[in-house]
Every structure is written in structure tokens, then in C-alpha cells.
Structure 1
Amino acid sequence: MSDLFASAGLENAAPRPLADRLRPQKLAEVVGQEHLTGEGGALTRMIANRSLGSLIFWGPPGTGKTTVARLLARETSLHFEQVSAIFTGVADLKKVFEAARGRRAIGQGTLLFVDEIHRFNRAQQDGFLPVMEDGTITLIGATTENPSFELNAALLSRARVLVFKALDAEAIDKLLQRAETLEGRRLPLAPEARAALAGMADGDGRYLLGLAEELLAQPDGPDLDVAGLAATMQKRAPIYDKGQDEHYNLLSCFHKSLRGSDVNGAMYWAARMLTGGEDPGTVFRRLCCAASEDVGMADPQAMPQVVAAWTAFERVGWPEGRLFLAQAIAYVATAPKSNAAYSAFNAALALAQKTGSLAPPKHILNAPTKLMKELGYHAGYQYDHDFPDAFAGQSFFPEELAGDPRSDFYTPNERGFEREVKKRLEYWARLRAERQGGD
């Protein structure tokens, strides 16, 4: 039926949403993702070098993931096929793969775009591997979830992850200007209401254009202020730009107050954010970060305290929930501070990246098979609980890093509970020196 409409020219006359009419026709027209689509961007380089491979697009909704996938297919002369993990099963995928094999047989490649790819289970994700490896498809998966946690390692090893950013103020303004140009009229908004409209969109271009379309359909009249915009759209306008500069500024003030042990300052900045319409979850997330980054092992109870307060808040809600938030802020702000664990892990990451895939020592590898035993796996391992101190003192680093001062990451301080941790490390260091010296 759709073919009949298209052949009669009726499809083009059908009303189309503003977001669809403004869909970019080439990569350079995509806004907000210049690190990918601009001059020198990752995707621009791939196209220029004819090196497009399978990709995972990770980013929030309305940032252009589907549009960019379509444009890549056009730029590379690949057949574009789109499926959604929400509505697609194994049988559907098999049909898609068979059709792609048929096109490949006549020299036509296929770019398969899978929306919400993280919703496929592990077995379904594994089903993509053979057709990716033999070139039947070039896969582009889109996800709003962290691929490290939601996608199989095997799939990730065959695809490059590209991060899409929420649209910033500049990108949002470009979209609004394009909408006004296309419609031949300006949005009936005062400057502060225009900024509030951008805040309502929260970095989602598709949602922004939906709001703009409603406003552009309004009859002529005076420009709307923030209150008029909220009344017209039946949505609460943000009191402050919680998706942009002031949002990050107040979060920074809050976190630095926590780090600086200023409980009053921390409570003030938290109150400023909440009265400005901020999601309490954002404040709790920052508290979790401070409890780990700035308190850490100086008081290991800081993180459980914050998580317990957050859980209680979600169960009870506002206004009573402010009690739990206040307690968590007071605990983190007044706790002893140490960033030793945070700094240690950063050093570990840097060393791991620098030294590559060093082989682990065989004595700490399990040997479930005869061959592995013959190769020396598990040989010489000392079971710590066989020692009076439950400490054998063996090395757990690759041979190349054993005893390397660069691998001494964690240096606790004398504040709070870390004083006790430091004593333990010094005690184990003495035992290790004695036992390794006696070997």
C-alpha cells in the first residue's frame, strides 16, 4: 500500500513532523557531534579513508544516532537496514542476515542499524558475530546504556564505540534557527523563554523540535515569557539552566564544599539546586562521587551512608526525604578525607595502558585441565589461609612488574580509618620481606 502512495506522489504530500523535515542530508549538517562528523571528526576520517567498520553509537536520546547511521550508509553506498531490539527476535534477525547475504552475492553491502541494541540478550548479541566477521553486514548499534556493562565483550571487540553528546546550547540554537528558517517565522518567545525552552529539551534535539513545532503552530501574538511558555506547553519551565553552565557550576560548588569539609556550604548549594528544580538524584550521585573520591578509605562508611539515604529517599519521597539527604550531606562533609584509593587506581590505569597485555604469573592461574597443569599453571601457589597470618606474601603482578616501584599505587594517609589500613600494609610488607627473603 505504501508503494501505491509513493508512486502516486501522495507520500510526499503527507504531513511530516518538523524533526523529520529538518533531518540532515549530509554528515556536515549534523549539529552537536562535531567531534564525530565535523572536519577531522572520527566518522569523517573513516569515510575519507574508506575504512568504515562496525560501530556502537552510545549517547542520550535525540542526539542524531539514527540520522548519522543513515548518512553513513548513503556516503558508503551501503544498503541501509534498520531494526529495533525491542521488536525484533531471532527469526527476524535470520531473515535480515539472509537478505544481506543475497545482496552481498551481487556486490551490494549492508549497513544494519540496530536501535536499543543493549536490549538483546547475550545469545542474541552473539548471533551478530559471524555476519560481522565475514563481512555480510556492517553493524551500527545504538544504545543509551554504557556498552561496557550492557554489551558482550566479544561484540565490543569487533566494534568501535563512538560517544554521542547531549546537544549543548550552541547546537540547540542552531536547530531552532533552522526550524524558524524552514517555517518562515520566528519562535514567539522572549529571550529568557527561548533559553527555558532549550532547558526543557535537556539536550534532546528530537524533543526540542517537537516543542518548537507546537510553538510555531501557535497563532500570532505577543512573545511568551517563561510563565507563558510553561502554560502554553503544559510543562514546568526550569528555574535555572540545569542542563548547562549553572547546572555544572552549582554541582562544582557543592562538590568542592563537601571536599573542603564545609557542611554549611554543601547544604546551601544543595538547597540552591533543589529549589532551582534539580533532580534530587543528581545531588545523590554527586554525594556518591565525593564519598568515594574525597572520603574513600578514610571513612569506608561514607558510601553506605549515602546509598542508604538515597534508597530511603526513593522510598519515602519529598518532603520527608530531605531528612535523608541532609544526613548524607552532613556525613560526607564532616568525614575525614582521603583520595588515596582514587589516586591509586588512576595510577594503576595509567600503568596498565602503558605496559599492555603482560602475562599473569602462572602460580595464580587455575589449572582445571591436564594440559594447563603440564604448562605450569597453579604451580607454586601458596594458599594464604594455610599460614598463621592468612598471608603468604606472594607476588600477584606480572613478572615484569613484580617489585617495580611503579606498581606501589596505594599510599594511605594518617586520617581516619586509613591510619589502620596503613598499619596493615606496613605489617604485610614486613612479612613479605621476611618470607621472600627466606625463600
Structure 2
Amino acid sequence: MSDLFADQELPTASREAPPDSAPLADRLRPRTLSEVVGQEHLTGADGAIGRMVAAGKLASMILWGPPGTGKTSIARLLADAVGMRFVNISAVFSGVADLKKVFAEARTAARSGQQTLLFVDEIHRFNRAQQDGFLPYVEDGTVTLVGATTENPSFELNAALLSRCQVLILRRLDHDALDELVRRAEGLDRRPLPVTEEARDALIASADGDGRFLLNQVETLFSVDIDRPLGPAELSDLLHRRLPVYDKDREGHYNLISALHKSIRGSDAQAALYYLARMLVAGEEPLYVLRRLTRAAVEDIGMADPNALLQCLAAKEMYDFLGSPEGEIGIVQACLYLATAPKSNAAYMAQKAAWRSAKETGSLMPPMHILNAPTKLMKSVGYGKGYAYDHDADEGFSGQDYWPEEMEAQSFYEPTDRGFEARVRERLEFWEQRRRELKQSGGAAG
């Protein structure tokens, strides 16, 4: 770790330690940027934040990362590092009146030579109009904006606001970073955590990358009377696991369903089952997952194994009949069937090609010999004349031309040589060869 910030002078306010009654997470809040764990790619000498602090000038930025990764701490320490006035608001509790007050105070401070760093927590919760309200104050330097969000800024923030900010991505805290937080807590409390090494690892894993959650768990362990170190099972009985971060209408939802679909497409049954479990354990609606599996059955497997579609529909029937949790076994079976099935997107590509051609040639009339002729008038003008009934032809194949007269025959569907589709390919090649032979011999009707 670089010592870029080791000798950094901080304002007196930042040196004030929280009272002993404060939560452990507050008492262990970093005092300098060098103490922030797990984000060295940003805070180190070569990181974006490290370079800005070294230059003594901050750009407006969006800190994007999971909960408990240090977004608020970094924002406070950034202001300290360059001697800026720090203002903290939350988009959950603030409105237009609050913002106007903040901007007015920032302008007053600027006239006395004091620049303002405005930290907006949960910035994605401001609506589009409120986000637009930041633009003039960011552009004229009234405030340096540091927004924090757990959601993908591409989806949640205005393009105009994003264009004026750097997006810095905070990483989920890994095992080493979380272990460092535990060691700091032990140092502050002057005693080791009352758990075995195996339980310590389990405790860190249970935090799922969230430092704040981990410190809350550690604080609970220090607050109870434990006469001997707890093992993993005893620890599990005492503490609860962190629930997975999963919002059904936000990026985590789309990331996992994308990972599930692509693992199936890549024939990795184990990974597919893992992402399926991630979604269902987090509370995803099973029927939503089944709809995506059914889509994968026709998009990525198709005619290579037509039974894939039947497996998905059967799984849906089973789930409707049994519900959770028994019906989820059917979803698992369908997922595994898809992941282990031969793959082909030939039908999917054929659909796209045929739809494109239909849009370009959608008014062309089919050839007269395959038009229906329910009236005498239609028969008299040639509707249906010359149609060859294939079942009466040798091999059940007449070789007639079924394309509009103004259009060349097209080839949309190109089956692979995998699974059942290999047999389909043989049939198509056989019929195409027979068409050519019948055309050359003059035997093809139409």
C-alpha cells in the first residue's frame, strides 16, 4: 500500500474520535484514505482518487459499489484530504428545498474562499428532474459533487449528469479486506474474537463482502458473554447471515438472469445450477425463471433437441401443481437438461432472417398454384391451378416451387450437425437435391 497519505494533515474535526457508545462501525471508521480497506485500486498512488488528492483538486464523481464498501468514508476523507467543506445529504430524506439551501450555503462559502464537497448518498433515488437540478452548480464549481449509489449509474442517472462526473467503481470487499476489519475490531476491543479459526472464516464469508454488516456481527459477538470460542455451528445459531443483495427490478436481477442464461448456452451445468439457486434463494419468482429457461430452450437449443422445450413446459406444469419448494425440483431438472443438451441457435437465427425478409417483401403474392380457390371465379382466373398434392407424388415429395414469382428462393434455416438437428439437416439436403433433380428433368410441378 502506498504511503501517499501517511503524512496527510487532516482538519481537527476529522480527528475527533466517536464516543465509546457509538456503534463499532463508526468507531472504526477510517481516519485517512490509506486506512480504507479493499479499494486500493482507487485510493492508492496510481488510483483515480490517489491522483486527484496528490494534485489537490477533486473532480465531481459517482462512487458505485455494493453496500458496506466504504463509499461514505471515502467521501468524508476526500474533503479532509483537500481541505474542502463537507456537506452530506441523503436522497432518501432530502427534497428540492434542501438542495436549494445547500447550494445557497455553498455559494456563500465560496465567496469566502471555502469550496464545498457535496456528498449525496443514494443519489439514484433522486428523480430525473432533481438530478438535472445539480447541473448548473456542478458546472460553475459551486459544489464538487460526490454521489454514492449501489445501482448501475448507466440506468439510474441522467446522461447529462453522468457526463460531468467520473464514475469510480468500488469493489466488493474480499476475504483479506474483511479479515483486516476484524483484526482492527479486535485491536480496538483489546481481545480476540471469541470464535475458532473455522468460525472466523465462516463469519467473514457470511458478510458477503459488506464491511458494515461484518462489524455489526463482530459487535454482537463482543457484547455477549461467551465462555469458550464458538465453532461454525454455534456461531450460526447465534448470528444471522446477511441476506443476498437482490432487487427484482434492478441490476442484480438482470445480472443473475443473464449469467444463468449464458451458463446454459455455454453448457456449464454446474454454473447454471449455481445462478438458478442464487435467484430462487434470494426470492425470485420461480415462474419468471421458468419463462427465461423456456426462452433458452428455443433460442439456444432449438431443433438440436426439441425435447428441451417440452422439459420446460413440464417443469412449469409441475411447479403450478406442487408449488414451492417441491416444484422447484422440476425447475432444477429443466435447467440441467438445457445446460447438458446439444446447442443450436439455427431456429432463432432463421426467425430473425425470415422476419427481416417478410418486412422487405411483405406485399408479394404467393404463386397462383398454391392459392386457395373456394369460389368458381377464383378457379376461373387460375387460383390453385397446377397444384401438386405431395402425398400423391413419389416419395411424398412433388418438388414444387412455393415462393412468390418475383422472389428468389431463400435459405433462412441452416441446421447444425448437432443432436437431432443433424438428422433434420440430412432431410433438408435430400429434399434440396431432389428439387434440383426434378427441375433438371422437368418433373417438378408448378
In which range does the TM-score fall when normalised by the shorter chain?
0.5 to 0.7
Distance in 1 between residues matched to 2:275 and 2:125, nearest whole Å: 37
Does the CA contact (< 8 Å) of 2:117 and 2:146 recur in 1?
A: yes
In structure 2, which of residues 104, 108, 120 is the aligned counterpart of residue 98 of structure 1?
104
Q: 1:414 to 1:269 in 2, by over 3 A?
A: closer
Aligned pairs for 1:354-433 within 5 A:
388=361, 414-415=415-416
Distance in 2 between residues matched to 1:309 and 1:49, nearest whole Å: 60
Does the CA contact (< 8 Å) of 2:175 and 2:205 recur in 1?
A: no
Distance in 2 between residues matched to 1:108 and 1:219, nearest whole Å: 49
1:318 paired residue number: 325
RMSD of aligned alpha carbons = 4.8
1:217 to partner: Cα distance: 2.2
2:334 paired residue number: 327
Q: Is 1:64 aligned with 2:70?
A: yes
Does the CA contact (< 8 Å) of 2:293 and 2:312 recur in 1?
A: no
Task: Summarize deviations over 1:279-331 as a string: whole Å, max 9, x none.
Answer: 5869999999999999956649999x989989x97994423223223223323
Q: Is 1:45 aligned with 2:51?
A: yes
In structure 2, which of residues 265, 273, 283 is the aligned counterpart of residue 270 of structure 1?
273
In structure 2, which of residues 210, 215, 221 is the aligned counterpart of residue 204 of structure 1?
210
Structure 2 stretches lacking a partner, 5+ long: 1-15, 244-258, 349-356, 365-412, 429-446
Distance in 2 between residues matched to 1:313 and 1:102, nearest whole Å: 63
2:95 paired residue number: 89
**How many matched pairs?**
334
Letter in 2 for 1:388: T
Distance in 2 between residues matched to 1:50 and 1:284, nearest whole Å: 53
Does the CA contact (< 8 Å) of 1:186 and 1:216 recur in 2?
A: no
Q: 1:107 to 1:176 in 2, by over 3 A?
A: same
Does the CA contact (< 8 Å) of 1:196 and 1:237 recur in 2?
A: no
2:159 paired residue number: 153
Q: Is 1:185 aligned with 2:191?
A: yes
Does the CA contact (< 8 Å) of 2:65 and 2:171 recur in 1?
A: yes
Structure 1 stretches lacking a partner, 5+ long: 1-9, 239-252, 342-383, 392-411, 424-439
1:48 to partner: Cα distance: 1.2
Task: Summarize deviations over 1:23-43 as a string: whole Å, max 9, x none.
Answer: 111111100111111231211
Structure 1 residue matching 2:145: 3-state secondary structure: strand
Distance in 2 between residues matched to 1:70 and 1:148, nearest whole Å: 25
Provide TM-score, normalisation by structure 1: 0.63
Structure possessing the higher radius of gyration over alpha carbons: 2
In structure 1, which of residues 15, 20, 25 is the aligned counterpart of residue 26 of structure 2?
20
1:79 paired residue number: 85
1:174 to partner: Cα distance: 0.5
Does the CA contact (< 8 Å) of 1:113 and 1:141 recur in 2?
A: yes
Provide TM-score, normalisation by structure 2: 0.62
1:268 to partner: Cα distance: 10
1:196 to partner: Cα distance: 1.0
Q: 1:87 to 1:308 in 2, by over 3 A?
A: farther
Letter in 2 for 1:228: E
Task: Summarize deviations over 1:172-219 as a string: whole Å, max 9, x none.
Answer: 111101110111000011111111111221111011001001112233
Distance in 1 between residues matched to 2:197 and 2:143, nearest whole Å: 47
Aligned pairs for 1:216-255 within 5 A:
216-233=222-239, 235=240
Distance in 1 between residues matched to 2:313 and 2:123, nearest whole Å: 30
